[in-house]
Structures are given as structure tokens and as C-alpha cells.
Structure 1
Amino acid sequence: MVKLLSGCPALETMELYSFIGFHRLEINSLKLKTLKLKDYVRVGGNGNDLEILAPYIQNLEISGEDLECRFVDVSSVVNVKLIYSFLCIKGIPSIYVKDCCHEYRQVVNTLVQDNLQKLCYATDLTIGTWFTKVMYMLQFKGLPVSELNCKYLTLMLHMTMFNMYGVAGLLRVSPHVETISIELEYTLIDDFLVNDNSCCNPELLDLAKEDNMDLLSWVSSVEFHNLMKVKIVISSDACWKDHVKTGFEKVSKLSEFLLLNAPIFENFVIISKRRRCETCSMNCLSQHLSLLADKLLGRPRLFTNAAINFQE
């Protein structure tokens, strides 16, 4: 890797997929501006994290599973896409000691805190499902999270798995955001993942507390003074006739929360990415989203002239 970087002084973009063999990536090139990392493979499940030292990188994208990533220096980054996840210790090979679970979770939470602090000056930020759970736990425990300066926030979420309070908490530390895009995906495998038992008992107890919480009280006295546009895009390869009730309710509550707290709001767009369902032979996704748009039109909002549109 060192020879590759030193031998290609004009290199502008680096993309690494299913890579292995190092735990520190140091890039000091002034030319290299884009770094994309996908599916980092940890040798033998040894728990070592991946350190990234890239002070001149402007575009950073990281995706994959079971990835413990630490930002040492990404001070020039402008566009960031973080859709990776990290397993609870219960879901990692048996070389880990179960008694260390609580301490282990604290380490992961601290790591996320530090990484978000390093990204606080990025203007375009994309966050995945796993971060919403971690954000909820951080704020539920009263741990500080650095204020973000992003103007464009994209959330790439699984319909039934994202934590609504974690999303709201992320919005609370993003007071400068002007445009929010929420891309929700629902697949048949999501039902299996929701019932997955890989989480430890303390994590399940923390997440269960959200069932008894009110969103407005959880994120009280929040106004998005710069928020003007919201776009919600939902795609699905499963039938909506008998599924996603919980996920749909979360989207509805989150949408109402945004409308109630954006004084200069201009445009709210809901987009369905599938027209006809092969299971029920109906436009079940479009029907649900059209009802959501009608529901939002009838809800109170700070700026009554804000446009709410549904698109297929």
C-alpha cells in the first residue's frame, strides 16, 4: 500500500473492496481526494480497528459489516458517507469474553463519539442504520455528541430496523442542515434481522426503552432554523399489505416531527420507487405513501405554505 501511494503521485481516487492485511491507512498525498472503503476484513476476528490518517481527503465513503473504524485525521473531508456497522460482542466469535460486554459497548460508543467529532466540519453527510442505534444509546445515557455543521444530511436506513430516536438525536446535533434526504429500504430479510438474537441483553433493554418514549419530549425545544427541504424515498421488494406497520409508523412520526420544527420549511417530497407489487398485484407501497402525504397535509406545521408532494 505504501509503494502504491508513493508510486502514483497523480492518483486522485482510491477504492478498496474486501481488503485485508493492514490496520492503518495513512495517506499524505495532496492529489488524492476521494477514498472509498468497502468490506474491510479483520484477520481472525482479532478486534483490531482500522485507523485512517488522511488529512487531505475531501470525499470519504466507508461501508461494510463488523468494521471498527477510527479516524485519526480527516480534517479536510467535505463529503462523508458512513454506512458501515459493527456487531455487538455477542455476535462476534467466542474468543471474546462475555463479561466484557458492557465495557466493550462503552468503547464502541466512545469510538463513534470521537469519529463524529472529527467529521463535525463536513458539509455533506450520509449516515446508515447502525449509527441511529448508537446515537440513541449515546444520548439516552447523557453522553455528549459534537455539533455537526453539515448542510446536507442523507440517512440510508432499513425500514424496520432504524431507531427513530437516534435519528431525532442526530438531527438535534445538526442545527445547520438545509436539506434532509431519507432513503428507506424494506426487504424480506429485514423481518429476520429484526428478530435476530445477536444483541446482548443490556443493548436490548436500552433499545426497548424507546417504546415508552415520546418523540417530542425526547428531543424537546428543537427548531431546524435552516431546514427547507425534506425528501423521503422508500423502496421495497416485499408486500406492504401485511408488513412494515412499525416501520411505517416511525416514518410517519418522524415526518410530523420535522414539519413541526422547521420555521422556514419549503418542500416535503415523498417518493415511491416501486409501482406494482408481485405479491398482492396492487400498488401497495404507493397507496401507503399517498396516505402518508395526505396525513401530513392535515397536520399542523409552522409554515403553512410548505408544499407536500407524493411522487411515483
Structure 2
Amino acid sequence: MLREILKQLSHVENLTVGTWCLEVLSVLEMKSMPSPLSKHRYLILNTLPKKWDLPGIASLLKSSPDLEKLHIDVNPLNVLKFWEHQVFNNYYKYGDDHGESFWESEEKSFKCLLQNLKIIKIVGFDPGYCDIQFAIAFIEFLLKNAQVLEKMVINVRKVKRQTSYAAQELPVVQKLLSFTRASPRAAVLFSK
């Protein structure tokens, strides 16, 4: 049913999807039922990337060769529990790492990364969130492969914590800035 909805929406230039959609797409991708080809130029992902979202995210990127802008809202409230379902666990073939092996392991041809993706905006990024490693692995993959990327804007979420937030934030920011970039023009900008 979701594939049919995406087929009907394949002509729209702007598409917003949430965690449940990504997790269903992940299951479909693992059943060799990828997302239908689309004309999306602007994709909004309302999810905190988790291992269960990765195949769905990859499927959407592969099926969107014209994608120019990617917006990711990494709000932890966007996390659902679909992944706890046994059917999903039976299909998930990646280990318990933080997404690095997923992005490295699959042979991917993301036409949008090679030719069109110019702007990436990540909103609500929280370096202190315990599962942020999946988002970091995804950011590294994007920087390493987006050949025409002009800018990546990372909006850091303001959070009140007992521990020093700056002590958590600085190492993550330094790590993100150290990632290899495929595009010589790619700027990585941080805002609050």
C-alpha cells in the first residue's frame, strides 16, 4: 500500500516522510521491493535516524535522482517503536554498530548524490542524545558522497542538561568537521 501511495506521489517535487514510513520502506527494501522512481527535488525526513530507518532512507535517496535539497528533522520525539516487531527483526541484516557498516556495506548508486544534491539541512541535532551515532554515520556518508554539495547546515538543538553541554558538543562538532567531503565547495555550517 505504501509503495502505491509513493507511486501516486512520484510527480510531486516536495515530499515529507516520517519514521513510520521509513521503517515500512526499510522492510520493503529488505524484501527487494524498493521505492518507486520519483521526481522529488526536496525531501524532508522527520526522523532521528536509527538502524531501522537506514534501508528506507537509502531506498528514498536511490529513487529520487533529481533531489536537490534534503531536510532532516532529527527530533528524538520522531522515533517510533515499529522496529520492535518480530517481522522487522527477521529482515534486518546489519549488526549493532551505529550505521557505519550499513552505508559502507551496500553497493549504492545514488544518482542524486552524484549530480544534484546541493543543500542539506539538519534541524534539531543533539550531540548529547545517546543514539546520535546513526545520524553522524549518515552525515559522514552524505559528505563523502555528495559531489555537488554546496552547503550542509546543522541546527544544534538547545537542551538543558545537568552536565556541561559544551563538553559533549565540541567533540561531535570537531568530528563532523573532520569528515572527508566529495565536493570541494561543500561548507558545513552550525547554528543554534
The TM-score, its normalising length taken from structure 1, stands at: 0.53
Offset at residue 116 of structure 1 (A): 0.5
Partner of 2:25: 135
Residue of 141, 149, 152 corresponding to 1:257: 141
Q: Which residue of 1 aligns with 2:181?
A: 301
* Residue pair 2:10, 2:39 contacting (<8 A) in 1 also: yes
Matching of residue 116 in structure 1 with residue 6 in structure 2: yes
Out of 65, 84, 90, which is 1:205 matched to? 90
1:181 to 71, 89, 95: 71
After superposition, residues 1-312 of structure 1 pair within 5 angstroms as 111-158=1-48, 160=50, 163-187=53-77, 199=85, 201-207=86-92, 209-211=93-95, 214-223=102-111, 224=113, 225-234=115-124, 240=128, 243-244=129-130, 247-277=131-161, 280-283=162-165, 287-288=168-169, 290-312=170-192
8 A Cα contact 1:268 1:309, kept in partner: yes
**1:98 aligned residue:** none
Letter in 2 for 1:217: S
Q: Tell me which amino acid in the other structure corresponds to 1:202.
A: V
User: Aligned equivalents of 2:51 and 2:143: distance in 1?
Assistant: 23
Residue identity in the other structure for 1:204? N
Residues 219-270 of structure 1: CA distance to partner in whole angstroms, max 9, x if unpaired?
A: 523242111011111266xx93xx52xx311101111111122111100111
Could you list the runs of 4 or more consecutive aligned residues of structure 1 that deviate by over 3 angstroms after TM superposition? 158-162, 193-197, 290-293
User: What SS is found at the alignment partner of 1:210?
Assistant: coil
The one-letter amino acid paired with 2:102 is D
Distance 1:196 1:115 in 2: 21
Alpha-carbon distance in 2 for matches of 1:234, 1:259: 19
Shift in Å, 1:214: 2.9
Larger radius of gyration: 1
How much does 1:298 deviate?
1.8
The structure showing larger relative contact order (alpha-carbon pairs under 8 Å, at least 6 residues apart) is: 2
Cα deviation digits, residues 267-308 of structure 1 (max 9, x gap): 01111131532xx15326x943x5334223222221123111
CA distance in 1, matches of 2:52, 2:24: 10
Tell me the TM-score normalised to structure 2 length: 0.83
Q: Secondary structure at the match of 1:174?
A: coil
Gaps of 5+ in 2: none
DSSP 3-state at the match of 2:175 = helix
More helix by share: 2
- Report the number of matched residues: 186
**Which residue type is aligned with residue 174 of structure 2?**
D
Q: Match for 2:109: what amino acid?
A: S
Distance in 2 separating the partners of 1:195 and 1:226? 32
Report the 3-state secondary structure (helix = DSSP H, G, I; strand = E; otherwise coil) of the residue aligned with 2:57: helix
Is contact 1:227–1:264 with CA below 8 Å preserved after alignment? yes
Distance 1:273 1:299, change over 3 A: closer
Q: How many Å separate the matches in 1 of 2:182 and 2:33? A: 30
Q: Which ranges of structure 1 fall in alignment gaps of 5 or more residues?
A: 1-110
Question: How far apart in 1 are the matches of 2:41 and 2:82?
Answer: 35
Cα distance in 2 for residues equivalent to 1:292 and 1:126: 27
